[in-house]
Amino acid sequence: MQRRRFLGMTAAGAATAALAPTLTACGSGGPGSGTKKLKLIAADYGDKPSNSSKKYWDALVRDFEDKHSKIKVDVEVYSWTEVDKKVADLVAAGKAPDLAQIGAYADYAAAGKLYSVDQLLTVPTQAEFITSIEKAGEVHRVQYGMPFVSSTRLLFCNKDLFDKAGIVKAPESWDELQAAAKKLQANGVKIPFGLPLGPEEAPAETMMWFLSGGGGYTDANGGYTIARTENAKALDWLRDELVGKKLTGPGDPARTNRQDVFDAFCKGDVGMLNGHPTLMQQAKAKGIKYITAPLPGIKGKSKSTMGVADWMMAFKQNGNRDQIGTFLDFVYTTQNVLDFTGQYDLLPVTSSASAKMHADDNRKELRPFLEQLENAEFYPADKTSWAAVSKAIKEKIGDTVKTGGDATSVLSEIEREANSLENASQGR
């Protein structure tokens, strides 16, 4: 299923490719033709041929070319298991596409490969980006990453399991979450709370618990604060109060992936879990009744939730800045944004599309996700070190919630590695 990979997972090997030497340019129309040809490499958000993203791009390009006869756009769509490597290989070979819609941009920006957003978009288009997401696309206060789609996270609760266990409302604090999990456990629920700290999306689940405990990966100035006390306390609480009390089911959280708990939730085996909008479609398809609520926090509703974004970026190599800008202004029109996000239950990245989706009664289940977007916190995707830090979290964080796990030690180790990488990338 391709959608497992979407939203914010960092491109493996992109840093190496981004720093490779430039060879020859490609992507323009022939000399004197008067026509420019753009190449776009895009990710596939569908999980079968009938809902492949290629259909969206083919229709959009036809519409665009009808209005702009001097600009042709060739779009290649790849699965999430292929797309990052495809772009990295093209850049390394000196054949960068004009545009790439993938999961990470910072390595290419740091290597000087990308146009800044203000070099491409008209002021009205640029002003449309939701502020919290726009800032996640900046490197050294200059925006290079254009958000393409986004998502936030909520707590999902199985309504039937809650009713049978006598739980009358979604928990708002960690203590209430534990109390609800105990009632579910006593009522025979296999997995009272699904805790995916496996390699698929451990950085996301970890970040949600850090935020709900008053911590996070970085401080207000963007410096790494992985080893802060609030983060260690969150992991210690998970170790002692959920995992240690068998409230996360029989599996090992360190080996449990997001899709594992999504699948179990859709079978009626999970009472609660943190999820994104895609779970709504999956649960409905299996007849699961659910409720959603803000993430529980240490003393009450979490003050922040995690936001995730995938990115559009424009490479400078072929020199087609004006044509790229014209195409992107078209891509980010309100209806085009809604056509894509509506197909996959994702969130728009522009204010007008978000407002229109919020007002659409057919999309009312997305409103709680939309309402969190403006204040959501995102991965530190602007850091070239984030790919390696994310990998370290995937490899090590699950051990912190096992019996005898030492969160302080593991987080300190990851932070030292993060700062070392970041300093090296800054030439310090």
Per-residue pLDDT at 303: 87
pLDDT tens sequence across 360-387: 999 999 999 999 888 889 999 888 898 8
Helices vs strands, H then E, count in the chain: 18, 12
Per-residue pLDDT at 428: 60
Residues 111/321, Cβ–Cβ less than 8 Å: no
pLDDT tens sequence across 49-103: 888 999 999 999 999 999 999 999 999 999 988 998 999 999 999 999 999 999 8
**What's the one-letter identity of residue 106?**
A
Residues 89/18, Cβ–Cβ less than 8 Å: no
> In the predicted model, what is the mean pLDDT of residues 293-304?
94
- Same domain, yes or no: 82 and 173: no
pLDDT tens sequence across 94-141: 999 999 999 889 899 999 999 999 999 999 999 999 988 898 899 888
Total of domains in the chain: 2
What's the chain's average pLDDT? Answer: 90
Residues 190/247, Cβ–Cβ less than 8 Å: no
> In the predicted model, what is the mean pLDDT of residues 271-298?
95
CATH number at residue 25: 3.40.190.10
Query: Is pLDDT at 330 greater than 50 in this prediction?
Result: yes
- CB burial class (10 A; 0-12, 13-18, 19+) of residue 62? exposed
- Same domain, yes or no: 331 and 372: yes
Could you tell me which residues come within 8 angstroms of residue 313 by beta carbon, excluding any fewer than 6 positions away?
A: 99, 100, 101, 102, 105, 108, 109, 114, 144, 145, 146
Query: Is pLDDT at 10 greater than 60 in this prediction?
Result: no
Per-residue pLDDT at 33: 59
The better pLDDT of the pair 2, 81 is held by: 81
% residues pLDDT > 90 (the chain)? 77
Could you say which DSSP state residue 42 is in? E
Name which of 424, 406, 404 is nearest 416 in CA terms: 424
pTM: 0.84
Strand 36-43 and strand 99-102: the pairing is: parallel
Phi-psi region of 284 (alpha: psi -120 to 50; beta: other; left: phi over 0): alpha
Per-residue pLDDT at 22: 36
What tokens does 424 get?
């090296």
- Same domain, yes or no: 131 and 183: no
The better pLDDT of the pair 306, 381 is held by: 306
Q: How confident is the model at residue 21 (pLDDT cuts 50, 70, 90)?
A: very low
- Same domain, yes or no: 413 and 344: no
What tokens does 98 get?
């004009």
**What's the one-letter identity of residue 268?**
G
- Same domain, yes or no: 56 and 122: yes
- Same domain, yes or no: 287 and 349: no
224 bridge partner residues:
218
> In the predicted model, what is the mean pLDDT of residues 197-206?
92
- Same domain, yes or no: 13 and 61: yes
- Same domain, yes or no: 11 and 89: yes
Out of 359, 378, 397, pick the residue that ends a domain. Answer: 378
- Same domain, yes or no: 177 and 81: no
- Same domain, yes or no: 297 and 392: yes
Residues 277/283, Cβ–Cβ less than 8 Å: no
> In the predicted model, what is the mean pLDDT of residues 336-356?
95
pLDDT tens sequence across 155-164: 999 999 999 9
- Range(s) of the domain holding residue 185: 154-304+385-425
What tokens does 135 get?
């800032």
Per-residue pLDDT at 382: 86
- Same domain, yes or no: 168 and 264: yes
Per-residue pLDDT at 182: 98
pLDDT tens sequence across 202-238: 999 999 999 999 999 999 888 999 999 999 999 999 9
- Same domain, yes or no: 165 and 81: no
